[in-house]
């Protein structure tokens, strides 16, 4: 059980969190905690996957890249700030939704550090980047409301201080600005990936939390998979409802099943021990999964052409 890290906070943050948990009630907190889903793995996979595999491949690549880079930079900052989660140091603050339910709630390597909020960053990068790509009024409204309720839920469930959430929103917007600008100005995909990868590499020298290695693995697989599509696969978008649903469900199945299969050669103790070896295995696992989902899996879409 690891409880290292730094403790710092404003008094009003603790008072606010204690007040919210005491007055909202268990039913209200359980309901609000569901909004954390907008910053978690599965819903984001569904959104990016739907865009990439079906609706608009170019948009899916743009949103996916922004989201992944936001996640990488978030974890790199967390491993510099090293802020402990509120429930570590305040007995009156309960943790009601942990990052990794399978790990000890006080294991920072598994649960991640507190500042900035990863859920808030994720929600902001995805929905703000959708605004830039779709440019619809209803999407602008969602891009304001969803990050707000996601961040609020993280405070209510005791996972983050309010300033963690504010930092997450700011980082999310900054990530959207940086990556979207680079996408518009750099025409070479390889050069773009190289520049972004260079910003992520320093984390290997100081990051010790699982979320960083997950994010870098996703990025490596994303790069390889999308380049494979550029040079070999060349799959096309589809607006046929049956194909859209089958592509999304198939991609999600590949993600979940392959991730599970790649864990099987290793013991649960090894995968959760926080060693550099286990972290590199984690990075490699997510790289393989992302590569298959973004590059290899779309090869199956050619079967659709035979059904037309």
Residue 4 lies in a domain: no
Count of domains in the chain?
1
Residue 5 lies in a domain: no
What is the per-residue pLDDT across 282-295, written as a single tens digit (0 to 9) for each? Answer: 999 999 999 999 99
Tell me the mean pLDDT in the region 3-21: 91
Rounded CA gap, 146 and 122, in Å?
Answer: 11
**Predicted pLDDT of residue 105:** 86
pLDDT for residue 194 is more than 50: yes
**Predicted pLDDT of residue 306:** 63
Residue 130 lies in a domain: yes
Residue 6 lies in a domain: no
Alpha carbon dihedral 87, 92, 93, 97, in 10-degree steps, equals 90
**Predicted pLDDT of residue 3:** 61
pLDDT for residue 1 is more than 50: no
Those residues whose C-beta lies under 8 Å from the C-beta of residue 150, and which sit 6 or more positions away, are 35, 36, 38, 39, 119, 120, 122, 123
Tell me the mean pLDDT in the region 67-74: 97
Residue 2 lies in a domain: no
Tell me the mean pLDDT in the region 13-19: 95
Host domain of residue 96? 11-307
Are 112 and 75 spatial neighbours (Cβ–Cβ below 8 Å)? yes
């Amino acid at each position: 059980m690891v409880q290292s890290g730094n403790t710092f906070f404003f008094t009003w943050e603790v008072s606010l969190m204690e007040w919210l948990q005491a007055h909202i009630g268990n039913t209200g907190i359980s309901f609000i905690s569901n909004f954390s889903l907008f910053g978690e793995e599965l819903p984001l996979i569904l959104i990016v996957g739907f865009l990439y595999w079906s609706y608009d491949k170019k948009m899916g690549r743009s949103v996916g890249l922004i989201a992944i880079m936001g996640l990488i930079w978030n974890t790199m900052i967390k491993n510099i700030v090293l802020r402990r989660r509120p429930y570590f140091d305040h007995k009156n603050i309960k943790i009601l939704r942990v990052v990794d339910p399978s790990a000890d709630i006080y294991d920072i390597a598994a649960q991640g550090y507190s500042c900035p909020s990863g859920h808030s960053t994720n929600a902001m990068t995805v929905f703000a980047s959708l605004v830039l790509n779709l440019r619809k009024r209803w999407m602008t409204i969602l891009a304001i409301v969803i990050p707000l309720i996601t961040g609020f839920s993280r405070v209510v469930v005791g996972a983050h201080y309010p300033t963690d959430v504010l930092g997450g929103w700011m980082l999310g917007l900054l990530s959207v600005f940086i990556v979207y600008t680079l996408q518009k100005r750099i025409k070479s995909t390889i050069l773009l990936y190289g520049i972004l990868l260079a910003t992520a590499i320093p984390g290997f020298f100081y990051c010790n939390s699982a979320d960083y290695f997950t994010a870098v693995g996703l990025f490596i697989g994303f790069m390889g998979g999308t380049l494979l599509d550029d040079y070999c696969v060349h799959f096309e978008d589809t607006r046929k409802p049956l194909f859209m649903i089958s592509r999304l469900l198939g991609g999600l199945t590949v993600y979940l099943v392959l991730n599970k299969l790649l864990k099987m050669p290793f013991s649960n103790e090894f995968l959760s021990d926080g060693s550099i070896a286990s972290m590199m295995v984690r990075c490699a696992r997510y790289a393989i999964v992302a590569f298959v989902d973004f590059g290899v899996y779309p090869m199956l879409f050619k079967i659709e052409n035979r059904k037309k």
